[in-house]
Chains A and B, each alone.
Chain A
Amino acid sequence: METKLTARAVSVFYGSSQALFDVSMDFPAYGVTALIGPSGCGKSTFLRCFNRMNDLIPACRVAGDITLDGQSILAEAMDAVSLRRRVGMVFQKPNPFPKSIFDNVAYGLRVNGMRDEEEIAAVVEVALKRAAIFEEVKDRLHSSALGLSGGQQQRLCIARALAVAPEVLLMDEPASALDPIATQKIEETIHELKDSLTILIVTHNMQQAARVSDQTAFFYMGKLIEHGATDKIFTRPDQKQTEDYITGRFG
């Protein structure tokens, strides 16, 4: 199995407070890895390391190493903007720009220098299709994105992330603000995308982790407790802490 991302002894500090302790794990290419654990366990902090979103937090320091296709992403030589082109992100709350649906998806393309409107239109359509929202918006591409439902806005944000052809997609609780139908569509979208992308998803929903992911990593108090195939984690985890968490005995 090809490895897309590796984390080696990754620790994260917020000032003098350590949020993540020596986390090491590999992420296979073209699969979904779910990061689970109780609030404050460090899973979102860990997720944000992969596109250096933690750079934006004052006093945050990351130690250890993370590689993307064997290349260190924490090295000074790595440009954060080009990294984020390769490693897209979708957040908990849908955050469309106050622009049209089309312009939301085209935004990253234009920022990256694409000028040919025909080419942009083609890429926007493909991105909307990959995010499974094209059929719902194709007749109103130039209407405001803010008029979409929450679930549609989230899929639009996925389309926006996909438009710049990332290799990795980070999803931080992408369905936690959505109803079951919208959640199901997001999960189906993830399922469709995993053949062409490496996806890391943070979720508090155990059933969602079990449904969408191939690998699951359980974090507790900043430490990686257990990591393995999702079916193994959800049927016979090795660690008691994992069992207690996923069966709802704590957290």
Chain B
Amino acid sequence: MVTQETILQQHIVSLRTRLLLMCAAVSVAVEDMIHAFETRDVGRAAAVIDGDNDIDALENEIDDKALKLMACTQPVAGDLRFVVSALRMVLDLERIGDEASSMAEGCILLQDMPPYVIMDEVLVFLHQSRNAYEQAVAAFRSNDIAAALALARTEDDATQGEVRLLHRCMQAVLAHEVDEQAFMHIVLIIRAATRIWRRSANIAEHVYFSLHGDSLKHCPK
């Protein structure tokens, strides 16, 4: 059967390219935020906050592109699922960018605090969150249904990790290993990391829907 690339396919490729660019921009924000947290690099934290505007602009651009694509080419089947997934993904990507930005603010507020022992455990959790995000992007980039499904099922891991870590923080406060002001900032960073993980799982759900056609939303595992 002879196949040909239509204007619709060209629009789809263009939309996918912009989405991958947004994924990369968010990836840089998350990576820089972790680096800022680990090294107390206030300059890099500030760069994450500044860079959030670019991520927001990409969200607007992709939204606009997807809407025009739907209006002008009326996609169906896999193309339709891709555009719907793109519109959903872009929301999660933008929110992950926001989370990275607010975590970067936390890093700035923690800059003068002593290097608490609990910070190492928080850093491990941040890496786990970042890994979840990178897996989501990899599943999207390589159209990997199995990887998307596996990641989509890790939402509970994120919650459990958060609960464990918050419990450790409480113990540290009670043992006067962390002061109360630092505790506030650390808790906010942990919660934002959880949300990054969970939104990464959402992205995996969108990838699965786009490729497979079935929705994993609100499905029992």
Contact = CB atoms under 8 A, between A and B. Distances in A.
B76 A210 contact: yes
B4 A235 contact: no
Contacts of A234: 76-77, 80
Given A235-B81, A235-B213, A250 B4 contact: yes
A235 B214 CA distance: 10
Find the residue from B1, B3, B76, B78 having the highest chain A CB count within 10 A. Answer: B76
Nearest to B212: A236
A41 to B, nearest CB: 12
A210 B80 CA distance: 13
Contacts of A242: 77
Interface residues of A, number: 17
A75 to B, nearest CB: 38
A115 interface: no
B74 interface: yes
B39 interface: no
A247 B75 contact: yes
A48 to B, nearest CB: 26
Interface in A29-51: none
A206 B2 contact: no
Nearest to A249: B3
Contacts of A243: 77-78
A243 B4 CA distance: 14
A237 B3 contact: no
Contacts of B3: 244, 249-250
Contact of B4 (A206, A236, A241, A249): A249
Interface string B91-129: 000000000000000000000000000000000000000
B9 interface: yes
Nearest to B214: A236
B79 interface: yes
A250 B1 contact: yes
Contact of B8 (A233, A237, A244, A247): A247
Interface string A156-196: 00000000000000000000000000000000000000000
A182 to B, nearest CB: 20
A82 interface: no
B142 interface: no
A230 B54 CA distance: 41
Contact of A235 (B6, B8, B74, B76): B76
B213 A248 contact: no
Contacts of B81: 235-236
Contacts of B8: 247-248
Given A235-B77, A244-B1, A244-B3, 19 more contacts: A234-B77, A235-B76, A235-B81, A235-B213, A236-B213, A236-B214, A237-B77, A241-B1, A243-B77, A247-B8, A247-B76, A247-B77, A247-B78, A248-B6, A248-B8, A248-B9, A249-B4, A249-B6, A250-B3
The 6 closest A-B pairs by CB, nearest first: A236-B213, A234-B76, A248-B6, A249-B3, A243-B77, A247-B79
16 contacts: A210-B76, A234-B80, A236-B81, A236-B213, A237-B77, A241-B1, A242-B77, A243-B77, A244-B3, A246-B77, A247-B8, A247-B75, A247-B76, A247-B78, A248-B6, A250-B2
